[in-house]
Amino acid sequence: MLETPKKFTLVAGSAEGPSRLNAFDNALLAAGIGNVNLLRVSSILPPGAVLMPRLEIVPGQLLPTAYGTITSDLEGELLAAAVAVGIGEDGEYGVIMEFSGRCGRAQAEESVAEMARAAFRQRQRELKNILVQSAEHRVQSIGCAFAAVALWY
């Protein structure tokens, strides 16, 4: 069994690439997590996890990550990805929500924040704070927007 992460960091980036996969990889690099192995996780922030402004990771590391991403090859299309972390009482678990769409940053941030509020309402818990991170991208050839909450040790 994997250890429960004790730290979390919100990251986001966007980029172009010669293929959809390269655009995604370049967006990861822009977000600062391009040289690790992402383990996609669902949407719970571990109890007591501490927000860190920067990741302290090594190349090749396994990194549990909740993320939203969108890639397009439609020139001129506006893309956005966003994540939100809903935080309740100290020491309790939080909720992570992800969003990606063909829209601007403001709409992505509004959508993902509302998802975090809804998740707390559904759990009948009091929401104390919402942290949001997002990326927006106007496609030139093949583009990607990416936003994530990295959970680490």
| Residue 108 domain flag | yes
Please check whether residue 124 lies inside any domain of the structure: yes
Q: Is 141 labeled as catalytic in the residue annotation? A: no
Percent of the chain with pLDDT over 70: 100
Residue 2 lies inside a defined structural domain of this protein: no
Cα–Cα distances (Å) from 136 to 6, 27, 86, 109, 122, in that order, read 29, 11, 21, 10, 29
Tens digit of each residue's pLDDT (9 = 90 or more) over 86-117: 999 998 999 999 999 999 999 999 999 999 99
The count of domains in the chain is: 1
Global confidence as pTM? 0.96
Taking residues 127-131, report their average pLDDT.
Answer: 97
Query: Is 1 domain-assigned?
Result: no
Q: For residue 66, what are the domain limits?
A: 7-152
* 37 has catalytic annotation: yes
Is 82 within the bounds of a domain? Answer: yes
In a domain, 60, yes or no: yes
What's the whole-number average pLDDT of the chain? 97
Does residue 43 have an active-site annotation? yes
Q: Which of 26, 98, 109, 134 is catalytic?
A: 98
Q: For the segment 64-86, what is each residue's pLDDT rounded down to a tens digit?
A: 999 999 999 999 999 999 999 99
Look up the CATH number of the domain holding residue 146. 3.50.20.10
Contact predicate 99/69, CB 8 Å = no
H or E element, residue 100: strand 94-101
Alpha-carbon distance 148 to 48, whole Å? 19
User: Considering 43, 100, 111, 134, which one is annotated as catalytic?
Assistant: 43
Collapsing DSSP to helix, strand or coil, 118 comes out as helix
Q: Which member of 19, 37, 129, 141 is catalytic? A: 37
Please state, in angstroms and rounded to a whole number, the distance separating the CA atoms of residues 2 and 52.
20
